[in-house]
Amino acid sequence: MYRSILVPVDLDQPSSWEKALPTAVALAKSFGASLSLASVVPERAVMFESQWSPIAYREMMETARARLGSLAATVEGVGEVGHHVECGGIYATILSIGELIGADLIILSSHRPAMRDYLLGANASRVVRHAKCSVFVVRDSHADDA
């Protein structure tokens, strides 16, 4: 059913992937799908850092690639896990990476909403609305406790 699964990862927010990644691994195993992780270095962070030095930008990207590669290396049972780090607007870059790798499923985590009706962050909700492929949202099991 699914051939290529993408999990967006915010390297500074483990809650962005702690629920989604095990779900993605289980689905990848079930369907024999490839699994890829994606992280986006936000443009505003790059603009701030790169105004000081192009070396700072390069180091920021290299650090993100190393961190995402380390996370990908911890995933077991699904073969080699792809990992992609790009700079740009978060939701648009996630969608771009998804199209680039031919993802037919994107798996996101929702965070615990501060208000009952608020389920997804702005970027996650944009991914859900604009993705050309299916999007699976893994909800925090404690989200109803708010």
pLDDT at 119: 45
Q: Which residues contact 45 (CB under 8 A, 6 or more apart)?
A: 60
Level-2 CATH architecture, domain 4-145: 3-Layer(aba) Sandwich (3.40)
Instruction: Indicate the pLDDT class of residue 52, thresholds 50, 70 and 90.
Output: low
User: Residue 9: which of 55, 41, 46 has the closest Cα?
Assistant: 41
Please state which of the ranges 35-39, 48-52, 54-58, 82-86 shows the lowest mean pLDDT. 48-52
Global pTM reads 0.86
More confident residue, 119 or 80: 80
6-30: pLDDT as tens digits: 999 999 989 889 999 999 999 999 9
In this structure, is the dihedral angle defined by the CA atoms of residues 115, 117, 119 and 124, taken in order, positive or negative? negative
